[in-house]
Structures are given as structure tokens and as C-alpha cells.
Amino acid sequence: MAHPFICPNCGHRSSEAERTAGFRREPKGCANCGYAILFELLDDYYPAPDAAFFVCDREGRVIGCGRGSFELTGLHDEQLIGRPVSEVLGLQFPNGDDHVRTVLEWGVRQLSKPVSVKAEGDLEARATADLFPAYDDDGGLLLVLTPAR
């Protein structure tokens, strides 16, 4: 059985028979760009070309910024890493929902969620959020923001 994966750094999609690198328990890295973290998808997922990727730890703090993150936020990696993603990106979901917390607490995907993004010092932008839980022992999530057209 093949498992679909996506790299948050370059957006490369791959299909692998194993979830780990060989006989070790270490997760697979990206064969395309060498990024150390791949996210397993339960279904195939095709992000938009201008989507921005953010990797967060189990507390919702940014631990990695991928393709499109600077273009969407105007912030460099060092301005984002280590800070709560909802705070630093100014994420506002309709009805006060907190989809980041839902993904972290319940380990479920949240797809096509409208969101307002207001990164520090930037203008408010509308986007669609797709959030994926990390299915490893460390927890965390992958946040994909696609700017509204």
C-alpha cells in the first residue's frame, strides 16, 4: 500500500510504501529538496502554486517555513520561527473558531477553512487554510494557506 506524502518546503508530492527511512524509526525526508520533514496525507492533496507552508510543533509554534511563506506574510523565517502560528500570522477564523487548536488536540484534518491573515506590519489578506496533523510521536501540524483571489 502506498502512502501519499507532501514536503512543506518545496511542495513535492511523493508516494511511498514505507512511512519511515529504512529500518529506522526516523521519518522520511524529501527526496526532492532534502527537507527533513514530510507530512503524510490521508488523501492526495494538490496545493495551489501560490500556497504558503508553515510547519508547527505540538504547541502550535512555527518550527519551519516553506514555499510561499515570505510572499504571503512579508516575514523572514527568523521572524516566524518559535512563535505561535495563530499569533504571528494574526489568523482569524469565522465565528471565532480555532482550527489550529482543533488539529492539535484531535489529530484531524481541517480543509478549506476561510481565514483572515494579518501578519505583523502587513495588510489583512483573505486566504483558505488547510491544516494537517503530524502523525508521528512529536505531534504538530502542517498549515497551508492559499491566498484568496
Domains of the chain by residue range: 3-147
Contact indicator for 61, 85 with CB cutoff of 8 Å:
yes
Average predicted confidence (pLDDT) for the chain: 87
Q: 90: which 3 cell numbers?
A: 494574526
Whether residue 103 has pLDDT greater than 90: yes
Is residue 117 scored above 60 in pLDDT? Answer: yes
12-46 pLDDT tens trace = 888 876 666 555 667 678 889 988 878 877 776 77
Task: Please compute the mean of the pLDDT values over residues 69-96 and round it to a whole number.
Answer: 93
All residues at 6 or more sequence positions from 73 whose CB lies less than 8 Å from its CB, including other chains: 52, 80, 89, 117, 119, 122
CATH class of the domain comprising 3-147: alpha beta
**Of 24-33, 93-102, 134-143, which range is least confident?**
24-33
Model-wide pTM > 0.85: no
- pLDDT > 70: what percent of the chain? 89
| pLDDT at residue 1, rounded to an integer | 66
> What is the band of 82 on the pLDDT scale with cuts at 50, 70, 90?
very high
- Report the percent of the chain where pLDDT is more than 90: 51
The 10 Å Cβ neighbour count of residue 70 is 14
